[in-house]
Structure formats: structure tokens, C-alpha cells
Structure 1
């Protein structure tokens, strides 16, 4: 009897990364990303002007068209922005109660990342990189750092 040794398969398989450069992936994700973005902006009570800026500077007419009909294919930059914002939302709701989680982006923050500004002002001023920084900060807090 010949026994072959093998490591047991983990029940935790690595996550398959999504290639946002693939149009098919963006087609699959865009409508739900936009719907989630608009619900998030409502939960955070973000003004439409600021929401347009968080999307990377969208005209008023396009913004309201997207709001009415979110069935479209987003560019990599925009879908990445939405992903960071939804991750921030999720982290806040894990870290804090619902009320504080939804108000947090409007509260002045003493963390050096924000320099006394609100997280929303920081993200509006710093764009995609600021969103990434806020997301990483909150993920680190969730991890106990």
C-alpha cells in the first residue's frame, strides 16, 4: 500500500482578484456599485456637489442621469473610488454604532492624516489617494492597530 502525503486543503481559499481593466468585470459591477454609491451618499447626507466630486468630478447633468439610470459601465478610476468609499462605510459600521458611523465623515478629526479637517473634506481635497488612505486607516483600526 503506497500512501501519498498531501497537505490538507484549507477551507479558506485565496480571494480571486478582480481585474477592473477587463470591461466584462466593470460591466458586472458598475450598476450595483453606482446604486451602492447613491445609497451611501444619502446615508452620509453628502451634498450632490460633493458626491459629484467624490466620483472624480462629474457634471451635474451626468450625475443626475446616472442617479436615474445607474445601468452603465464605469471607468476603472470611478469604480475604484466607489469601492474605497463602500469599504470606508463598512469599516465605520464595524467600528462604531450606526449613528456615529454615518456622522463620522462630517466630524473634525485630530488624526494627523486629517490635519483637523473632516474626513469628507480630506477626501474631497485629496481625491483617490486620500480615499485610499482613509480606507487603510480604518482597516488598520479594525485590525487593532
Structure 2
């Protein structure tokens, strides 16, 4: 019973994250193809979810959405102006070997998304 409740809650959270990510991707200037890549989804599936609603989300997709939300939260903490937070994702960064965070995350690996989030959280912590 508890597992079923958690599964429902996780799906509801993922659906909320997905709806928020649509706005976030627009602010970041991310194409549909890039958004699908960030979520590790076939483009067709991404478009279906975007038009209708999120279907069942895998644990990895949920982790990707959660980390993308964490990235944006950290950016909004670091930068006072939202425009700066939204544009940072596309700026080349020495911390990522001279490429942008978006470029790094488009490698398609969850580990790269987590790397960006950890970097930003360390910056938030002063560090």
C-alpha cells in the first residue's frame, strides 16, 4: 500500500516537474529536440507528453526532471536577475572544460545533469 502511494506521488511530482520544465526549456531557449535529449526521451514521446500530458515517467526521467528543477532553483538563488539565470545555461564555462552547461548536459547522460546541479549548489554554498 505504501509503495503504491509513493508511486502515485512520484508520478504526480514528475507531471508537475514536466509542466514546469516546458516553461524552463522555453526560457533557456532549448529546442524540442534538445528537451527530448535532456529527458532521454524519443522526440515523438516528448511531443506527445507536451501536447497531452505526461504519461508514466521512468525513475531516470523523474531524476532528470528533478535535477533540472534543482539547477534552475540554484540559478535563481545565484543570480538576482532572472534573465541572467536563464542565459547562464548557454554561457561557456571553465568549470565544464570551456563548454556551456547546456552543451555538457546534451551529452545525454544523467551524470552530466547531476554534475551541473552539484556545481551550482556548491556555488550557492559559497564554493
Same fold (TM > 0.5): yes
Per the alignment, residue 9 of structure 2 pairs with 25
Whole-angstrom distance in 2 between the partners of 1:136 and 1:61: 30
Cα shift at 1:32? 0.6
1:65 aligns with 2:45: no
Contact 1:26 1:75 in 2 (8 A): no
Per the alignment, residue 134 of structure 1 pairs with 116
Which 4+ stretches in 1 moved above 4 angstroms? none
Cα shift at 1:126? 5.2
> 5+ unaligned residues in a row in structure 2: which ranges?
none
1:103 aligns with 2:87: yes
Per the alignment, residue 34 of structure 2 pairs with 50
Whole-angstrom distance in 2 between the partners of 1:126 and 1:49: 12
Whole-angstrom distance in 1 between the partners of 2:54 and 2:27: 21
Relative to structure 1, the CA distance from residue 71 to residue 120 in structure 2 (aligned partners, 3 Å threshold; closer, same or farther) is closer
- How many residue pairs end up in the alignment? 122
Cα shift at 1:25? 2.7
CA offsets per residue over residues 23-79 of structure 1, 9 Å max, x none? Answer: 2232221221110111110111101111110011x2222111100122422110001
Per the alignment, residue 99 of structure 2 pairs with 117
Whole-angstrom distance in 1 between the partners of 2:21 and 2:57: 12
Whole-angstrom distance in 2 between the partners of 1:94 and 1:70: 29
Contact 1:108 1:119 in 2 (8 A): yes
Rg (Cα) greater in structure: 1
Whole-angstrom distance in 2 between the partners of 1:107 and 1:38: 21
